[in-house]
Amino acid sequence: MTTTPPDLGGVVVLVTGAASGIGAAVAGLAADRGATPVLLDHDGEGAQEQASALRSRDLPGGRALAIAADVTDETSMRSAVESTLQRLGRIDIVITCAGVSGPVGSRLEDVSLADWQRVFAVNVTGAYLTLKHTLPALRRSHHGAAVLVASDSALVAAPGMVPYCASKAAVVQLARALSVETAGEVRVNAVCPSVVDTPMSRGDLQRRDFTGVDYPVHRPGDIAEHVLFLASPRAAGIHGAALTTDFGYSARSAFPA
């Protein structure tokens, strides 16, 4: 078995939600592997800071582009994709990381319609619009692949997270259904991580960090590795998969042994 990381030389990787957390880690790892990352976020300043930090490193691909765009807005996403294609000529891989957790801790009867709609707008409609506008470019690429960052919340649940859990289940089935529609042209997969140490989880769990907690926590770079494996030609036979990375938690039976 080879241990060298997949080579992404010459490949353009568009990452949504790349100003922070998992998206920033994916963009950084893609750049380390020779790709040109496009860091898309509605926090344009944050995306620009991440891209500048990448450009200041001695990267094999040498380039990193930041784009301010809102994944819930079709006009914004159409022009973000057009501008990427004008500047770089191609998009080979798309990673959808933009996401919000919504009203964590609220029981369903206390969730406002506006909060419910916002969670679905970013997590589900955002992934749909990102893919809708990048699929023509992905179809033209020899590497065409997309990885949607869902969550273990697509499969298991904690109280007070109904909108988020429902939205992430929709993301998994979006990936599976699209993988069937694009079979032979673009590989589409999803990842379903448990807690990852990012600003989102720190905010939701009201923690400054995860030192000393009695549950396992991923680093953003761990998820970036999983995502870029699924996006790479090494995962050529993997279509429509939802890779659960939860330290084996959901595999545990209720049997008391």
Ligand X SMILES: NC(=O)c1ccc[n+]([C@@H]2O[C@H](COP(=O)([O-])OP(=O)(O)OC[C@H]3O[C@@H](n4cnc5c(N)ncnc54)[C@H](O)[C@@H]3O)[C@@H](O)[C@H]2O)c1
Rounded Cα gap, residues 138 and 161, in angstroms = 33
Binding mask 225-254 for ligand X (x = CB under 6 A): ------------------------------
* Catalytic residue status for 164: yes
Q: Is 17 in the site for ligand X (CB under 6 A)?
A: yes
Rounded to a whole number of angstroms, the minimum distance from the CB of residue 242 to ligand X is 12
Q: Is 144 in the site for ligand X (CB under 6 A)?
A: no
Rounded Cα gap, residues 76 and 82, in angstroms = 10
In the 3-class helix/strand/coil scheme, how is 134-199 assigned residue by residue?
Answer: HHHHHHHCCCCEEEEECCHHHCCCCCCCHHHHHHHHHHHHHHHHHHHHCCCCCEEEEEEECCECCH
**Which of 179, 189, 198, 244 lies at the binding interface for ligand X (CB under 6 A)?**
198
Residues of the chain by 3-state class (helix, strand, coil), percent to 5: 45, 15, 40
**Which of 12, 15, 80, 98 lies at the binding interface for ligand X (CB under 6 A)?**
98
Whichever of 13 and 62 has its CB closer to ligand X, that residue is 13
Give counts: helices (H), strands (E), the chain.
8, 7
Binding mask 151-190 for ligand X (x = CB under 6 A): x---------------------------------------
**Which of 99, 102, 144, 163 lies at the binding interface for ligand X (CB under 6 A)?**
99
- CA distances 75 to 44, 66, 71, 100, 126, Å, are 16, 17, 9, 21, 12
Rounded Cα gap, residues 31 and 12, in angstroms = 9
DSSP 218: B
Q: Is 103 in the site for ligand X (CB under 6 A)?
A: no
Contact status, residue 94 vs residue 146, Cβ threshold 8 Å: yes
Which candidate, 149, 174, 146, places its Cα nearest to that of 245? 149
Q: Is 54 in the site for ligand X (CB under 6 A)?
A: no
**Which of 169, 196, 230, 243 lies at the binding interface for ligand X (CB under 6 A)?**
196
Q: Is 199 in the site for ligand X (CB under 6 A)?
A: yes
Q: Is 119 in the site for ligand X (CB under 6 A)?
A: no
**Which of 39, 95, 97, 131 lies at the binding interface for ligand X (CB under 6 A)?**
97
Rounded Cα gap, residues 240 and 233, in angstroms = 15
Whichever of 7 and 250 has its CB closer to ligand X, that residue is 250
- Paired tokens of 142: 């020899």
Rounded to a whole number of angstroms, the minimum distance from the CB of residue 255 to ligand X is 27
Q: Is 28 in the site for ligand X (CB under 6 A)?
A: no
Q: Show which residues are catalytic.
A: 164
Residues at the site binding ligand X, with contacts judged by CB under 6 A: 16-17, 19-23, 41-43, 46, 70-72, 97-100, 122, 126, 149, 151, 193, 195-196, 198-201
